[in-house]
């Protein structure tokens, strides 16, 4: 089985209309070097060019690699490591020196198109999340100082674990504790600088963790029956597309649905080589497209490879319910305190019609927190036209395609 691990640059931000997709994007590779038997950088550049690979993402700014990439026609994403975030956030002079020594020195001969500030910072065990946006802002200011801001963009790859909910895709949402401190400020910075959202999307890991629920062909882009999202009526034919749409939905849920996404979806396969010094399970050392001797592990025709726009691989289908409707219900596994907090919000600031669940009213029975929360969540969901992200409540709710049954209470399907 071919292992598919992807990292993604999700399209540029422009203040405009709701999400749209456009031309096909390009496929590049992540060039990691945690190994002691890899070819010299000059040989790697020859390999990349011979295979028609014109984009690479590096996990550092190694000078021998950046020098070898000069005048190659290969676009490069470089990285500022997580361990530098504290210094980058605290001191503008640090980022000035870093940009001068690791970016400006090599351009324009080496075509550096973006800087990844940190990597999956939200899951960094050293708790560097609080430094991320300040570090990104300082790097951006340094690029402006050296007249590089137009050609080099700043972003930070996020893991899908930043989502509180990713299924169905239309209910995608970020973890509540990340939204105000980092997600909104980061997206605002990307919007202002016309930069990218970078996402590490791993269909392989999602499949491996849920092999009893996810068909293998769905994870491997092969022909399959597809999966219909009851929230938006879209039929997805690949797990990757569903993962990316979950990120779009999460962005919309925090107020970033007023931006137009019109550049190609550039996908970076992980990884270029098998890396024999990586720690962890055996699979970690065997994600390479090539062996260290430059022989192919998988036959990927890069010279003709493009990324189909996400919208081309999903179709709108009728939601198969009795009334063609969907409802929002409470997640019974949610902690009572969190569920009560969400119920209070829905009935208060959220403006849901909670009169039917008051004592003596038509939907008071059954007298349970889950039943009452479900009614309130659904009222809020229907009131907001079943919009993307309106049935989440921090993971306390989800969309269903069959009418909820709580006693004799009838749940509304629209306002």
- The DSSP bridge pattern shows strands 75-80 and 111-117 to be parallel
- Tell me which residue of 220, 200, 217 sits closest to 268, measured CA to CA: 200
Rounded CA-CA distance 215/195 in Å is: 35
Is 120 part of the annotated catalytic residue set? yes
Coil, strand or helix: which one is 199?
Answer: strand
Query: 83, 150, 180, 263: which is the annotated catalytic residue?
Result: 263
Query: 46, 113, 120, 410: which is the annotated catalytic residue?
Result: 120
DSSP letters spanning 213-274: TS-HHHHTT-----EE-TTT-EEES-HHHHHHHHHHHHHHHTT--SB---S--EEEES-SB-
Instruction: Give the number of other Cβ atoms within 10 Å of residue 195's Cβ.
Output: 24
Rounded CA-CA distance 296/221 in Å is: 20
CA angle 93, 99, 101 (to 5 degrees): 100
**CB proximity list for 408: less than 8 A, separation 6 or greater:** 362, 365
Residues serving a catalytic function are: 120, 263
């Amino acid at each position: 089985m071919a292992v598919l691990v992807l990292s993604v640059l999700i399209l540029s931000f422009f203040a405009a209309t709701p999400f749209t997709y456009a031309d096909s994007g390009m496929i590049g590779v992540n060039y990691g070097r945690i190994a002691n038997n890899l070819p010299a950088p000059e040989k790697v550049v020859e390999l990349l060019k011979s295979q028609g690979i014109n984009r690479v993402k590096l996990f550092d700014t190694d000078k021998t690699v950046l020098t070898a990439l000069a005048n190659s026609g290969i676009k490069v994403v470089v990285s500022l490591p997580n361990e530098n975030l504290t210094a980058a956030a605290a001191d503008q002079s640090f980022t000035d020196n870093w940009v001068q020594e690791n970016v400006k020195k090599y351009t324009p001969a080496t075509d550096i198109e973006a800087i990844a500030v940190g990597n999956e910072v939200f899951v960094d065990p050293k708790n560097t999340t609080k430094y991320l946006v300040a570090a990104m802002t300082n790097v951006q200011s340094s690029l402006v100082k050296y007249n590089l801001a137009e050609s080099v963009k700043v972003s930070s790859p996020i893991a899908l674990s930043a989502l509180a909910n990713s299924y169905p895709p239309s209910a995608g949402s970020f973890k509540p504790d990340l939204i105000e401190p980092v997600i909104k400020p980061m997206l605002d910075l990307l919007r202002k600088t016309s930069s990218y959202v970078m996402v590490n999307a791993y269909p392989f890991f999602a499949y491996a963790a849920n092999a009893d629920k996810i068909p293998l062909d769905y994870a491997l882009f092969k022909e399959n029956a597809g999966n219909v999202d009851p929230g938006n009526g879209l039929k997805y034919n690949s797990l990757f597309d569903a993962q990316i749409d979950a990120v779009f939905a999460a962005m919309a849920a925090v107020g970033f649905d007023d931006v137009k996404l019109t550049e190609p979806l550039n996908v970076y396969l992980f990884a270029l080589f098998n890396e024999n010094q990586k720690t962890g399970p055996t699979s970690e050392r065997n994600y390479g497209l090539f062996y260290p001797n430059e022989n192919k592990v998988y036959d990927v025709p890069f010279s003709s490879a493009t990324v189909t726009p996400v919208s081309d691989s999903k179709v709108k289908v009728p939601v198969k319910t009795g009334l063609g409707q969907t409802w929002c219900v409470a997640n019974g596994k949610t902690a009572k305190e969190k569920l009560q907090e969400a119920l209070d919000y829905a009935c208060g600031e959220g403006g849901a019609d909670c009169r039917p669940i008051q004592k003596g009213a038509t939907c008071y029975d059954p007298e349970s927190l889950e039943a009452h929360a479900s009614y309130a969540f659904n009222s809020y969901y229907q009131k907001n036209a079943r919009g993307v992200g309106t049935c989440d409540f921090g993971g306390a709710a989800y969309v269903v395609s069959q009418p909820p049954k709580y006693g004799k209470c009838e749940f509304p399907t629209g306002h």
